[in-house]
Amino acid sequence: MYDLAVIGAGAAGLEAAKTALENGLKTVIIEKDYKSWGGTCLNKGCIPFKLSLHLAQRTKDFSYIFQEKDYVVEKIKKALWESFKKKGLEIRWGEAGFVDEKTIEVGGSKIQAKYVIIASGANPRKIDIEEKNIFFAEEIFSSLQKDDENILIIGGGSIGLELASFLNCLNKKVTIVEKEDSILPFLDKDISQRLKVILTRGGIKIDVSAKIENYDLSSFDKIFICVGRTPATQGLNLERVGIELDSSRIKINSYLQTNIKNIYACGDVCSKKLYAYLSQYQAQLAVRNILGASLKPDYRGIPEAVFSLPQVAWVGLKEEEAKRENIKYEKITSHFSPFSSSYVYQDNEGFIKILIDKKDRIIGASIISYNASELISIFSLAIKEEIKRKNIGDLVFIHPTISEIIPSLLRIF
């Protein structure tokens, strides 16, 4: 019998296995096949997509971008594979399904473990549209052809904006259709509206409050669905062991434990926010709790970002949340254009908003910038450690850099 069986070899599953092995647990991981090894982030999402977006800003060579993407993904997969084999991880290929609380069936054989972590991830959400040239966003690399010119993206969320930015770099004609009244509707309206203006100015057509039935879908060379993801629980036989769901997600308590005491879950299969780094954080805690700790995830200060061009990133409270919760705050906002460094790096359309509470602590920040995903981290630290405005404002950063805008701005206000 194993100490731990992990279902899924994506970001959450591999981090769980790594943490378990480091703590001396006899561990087995179950994944469908080698093609899926590394999960969505490595194979279809974060790594190949961000790399392709990065390359597309420098070259329009379609074949080179895709070949380089394949090379880098396989290089990382192979390194991961070799690393885990050296650590002594046992791997079973096949579909996993529960037989009972401590038994999992994989390809006709049974695995027994004292504890189980479900880290099976999520799949693209489907919509009811029949059209021959319609694909999920993660199918971009297998479906896009060089001569495709007119592209429709359904969904103005994170995935839709990133895909639109990539295609726009390749000089495609891109239209985004969003049913809500703004792109990234979970952000403050001033942030999402400013980003929309910049993206539109850059050549992306964005229609909000829009209905897909009002479009002639046959006029587009390709249509990509970007309307979110649903937990990958099908085939796990959760009902056989009585694992409860919260909507379609696996229901967990504050310690990442399901209603079955020896079964835990982490990552996209149970989370509302689908990020690889958040999945890894949860996986570490789940294993430590299995080892006897009683650790609850602390989501304060965990940043989020969309890798559009420009990027948008945020952390802590948004202004509209602060208003709803009747939190008294001071707001600092600024364009990047008053700062000379923004012109050096052609980031002068950038924008920043910082929220300060009555004790002078930073409680939230939102940034639009080509470097937003990097700039936001200092605010993540500030929120987690309850750092005051003056402490950041007193810092001396290198000039000329985009990051120097942050302490400079906090000194001004």
What mean pLDDT do residues 51-76 have?
95
The pLDDT value recorded for residue 219 is: 95
Confidence check: pLDDT of 341 > 90: yes
How distant is the alpha carbon of residue 16 from its chain centre? 18
Q: Give 167-197 pLDDT, tens digit per residue.
A: 999 999 999 999 999 999 999 999 999 999 9
- pLDDT level of residue 78 (50, 70, 90 thresholds): very high
What mean pLDDT do residues 299-313 have?
97
The pLDDT value recorded for residue 131 is: 80
**Higher-confidence residue: 3 or 146?**
3
Domains of the chain (ranges; CATH) run: 2-122+229-290 (3.50.50.60), 134-225 (3.50.50.60), 304-412 (3.30.390.30)
pTM for this predicted structure: 0.94
What mean pLDDT do residues 290-311 have?
97
Say what percent of the chain tops pLDDT 70.
100
The pLDDT value recorded for residue 413 is: 79
Confidence check: pLDDT of 315 > 90: yes
Of the candidates 95, 109, 104, 121, which has an alpha carbon nearest to the alpha carbon of residue 5? Answer: 104
**Higher-confidence residue: 155 or 246?**
155
Confidence check: pLDDT of 114 > 90: yes
- pLDDT level of residue 129 (50, 70, 90 thresholds): confident
